[in-house]
């Protein structure tokens, strides 16, 4: 009997959990679901789950070898550039196939008032350049809050799953919440907090898209941090497409 193909699934997203569920139903695959450990109480699928870093490219390479990994699927957040880069390097060094599951980015539609910026630092500079004090709805995640800590002119409404651990802006309110978020709730929050501007990463997906619709409805400008450049590799936008790809390669 042929042993199952061992898959290292770099997760932390809804798409990753969906893929893990699909693979769990296929006896020809054995999945290790890996999390970076940045969220205190992550939602995880059934099966084998590991948490924490690997120790850079070298550590990841050794871990894959020690655990007899046959293929890696990178289904991390579009802004998890470090682990994605490490996966590319480690798989290239070991000739282990790498497949990427990445949700498509959001695109502006008529009525949106987007300002696209390349980095989180550029978003902070754009806020600092606003002529009047504003209430900023900051939805970039707790890891990036400290980038805005030195901006004293604006009031910040910071939404994150877990509390920020680093410096925060002097005038700030922290709202702890986990998506998905619906449109009525986003509109209500923006009204209650008198939000003037939204700052977000271009994460894509449906779970947090309602904030962009709410900003459009309220004619609120949005600073959108663009995704880091991706390294060309085999990439799909749905869990089902990745499963079909893995099934085809397993059969060859």
pLDDT digits (tens, 9 = 90+) for 72-93: 999 999 998 899 999 999 999 9
Instruction: Please tell me the predicted confidence (pLDDT) of residue 104.
Output: 93
Domain extents in the chain: 5-104+229-251, 114-225
CATH of domain 114-225: 3.40.50.2300
What is the SS3 assignment for 101? strand
Q: What is the CATH T-level fold of the domain 5-104+229-251, as seen in this structure?
A: Rossmann fold (3.40.50)
Give yes or no on whether 5-104+229-251 and 114-225 have one common fold. Answer: yes
Strand order in the sheet with 71-74: 48-51, 29-35, 5-10, 71-74, 98-101, 234-236
Within the chain, which residues score under 50 in pLDDT?
none
- Chain centroid to CA 186: how far? 20
What mean pLDDT, rounded, does the chain reach? 92
Instruction: Please tell me the predicted confidence (pLDDT) of residue 229.
Output: 83
């Amino acid at each position: 009997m042929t042993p199952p193909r061992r898959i290292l699934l770099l997760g932390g997203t809804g798409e990753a959990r969906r893929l893990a569920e699909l693979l769990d139903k296929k006896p020809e695959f054995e999945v290790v679901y890996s999390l970076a450990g940045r969220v205190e109480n992550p939602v995880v699928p059934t099966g084998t789950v590991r948490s924490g870093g690997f120790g850079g490219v070298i550590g990841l390479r050794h871990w894959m070898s020690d655990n007899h990994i046959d293929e890696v699927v990178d289904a991390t957040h579009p802004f998890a550039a470090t682990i994605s880069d490490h996966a590319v390097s480690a798989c290239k060094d070991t000739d282990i196939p790498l497949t990427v599951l990445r949700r498509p980015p959001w695109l502006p539609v008529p009525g949106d008032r987007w300002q696209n910026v390349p980095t989180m630092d550029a978003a902070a500079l754009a806020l600092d350049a606003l002529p009047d004090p504003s209430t900023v709805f900051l939805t970039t995640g707790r890891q990036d809050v400290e980038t805005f800590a030195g901006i004293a002119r604006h009031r910040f409404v910071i939404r994150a799953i877990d509390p920020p651990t680093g410096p925060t802006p002097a005038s700030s309110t922290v709202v702890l919440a986990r998506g998905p978020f619906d449109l009525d709730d986003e509109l209500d929050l923006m009204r209650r907090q008198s939000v003037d501007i939204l700052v977000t990463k271009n994460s894509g997906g449906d779970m947090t898209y309602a904030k962009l619709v709410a900003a459009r409805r309220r004619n609120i400008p949005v600073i959108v941090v663009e995704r880091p450049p991706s390294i060309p590799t085999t990439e799909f936008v749905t869990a089902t497409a990745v499963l079909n790809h893995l099934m085809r390669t397993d059969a060859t």
